């Protein structure tokens, strides 16, 4: 729940409170990777890891305002923001802008990927369609 800084857990048919913390700054994008939950904070523009056992919140990336979608992409992550940008993020939390749709007025909200085809799928929030983009990062060149 972005507005209340709350993350819930769904197991089977049971929904329980997992974490509520104002540090999360409006949790929006979520992705479980191993023993960590990755969280993109919509309001404050930070990305966090949350230990699934201890629930310790660790900020790992700044300056990503309107954080929205998080998806695995090869050895990287792709993180989108509401402003229409998508960043490739490395294991050491370095980011590279790989897509910018601001001039098209397309908000890059939640995303998913087809890594084998180097594609990211972006639902257009108001456009009523899904756009596909081929992504190439600096490490791919």
**Domain boundaries of the chain, sorted by first residue:** 2-140
> β-strands 36-41, 47-51: how paired?
antiparallel
**Helix locations, 9-113, DSSP H:** none
Read off φ and ψ for residue 118, nearest 5 degrees. Answer: 55, 40
59 pLDDT more than 70: yes
Contact indicator for 37, 44 with CB cutoff of 8 Å: no
| Average pLDDT for 111-140 | 83
Tens of pLDDT, residues 15-30: 999 999 998 989 999 9
Which pLDDT score, from 0 to 100, does residue 137 have? 62
User: Domain 2-140 - what CATH class?
Assistant: mainly beta
């Amino acid at each position: 729940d972005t507005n209340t800084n709350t993350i819930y857990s769904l197991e089977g048919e049971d929904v329980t409170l997992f974490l509520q913390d104002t540090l999360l700054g409006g949790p929006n994008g979520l992705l479980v990777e191993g023993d960590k939950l990755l969280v993109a904070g919509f309001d404050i523009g930070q990305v966090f890891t949350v230990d699934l056992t201890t629930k310790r919140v660790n900020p790992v990336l700044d300056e990503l305002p309107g954080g929205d979608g998080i998806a695995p992409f090869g050895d990287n992550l792709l993180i989108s923001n509401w402003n229409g940008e998508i960043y490739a993020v490395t294991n050491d939390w370095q980011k590279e802008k790989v897509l910018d749709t601001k001039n098209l007025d397309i908000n890059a909200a939640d995303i998913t990927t087809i890594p084998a085809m180097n594609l990211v799928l972006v639902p257009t929030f108001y456009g009523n369609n899904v756009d596909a983009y081929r992504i190439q990062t600096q490490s791919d060149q």
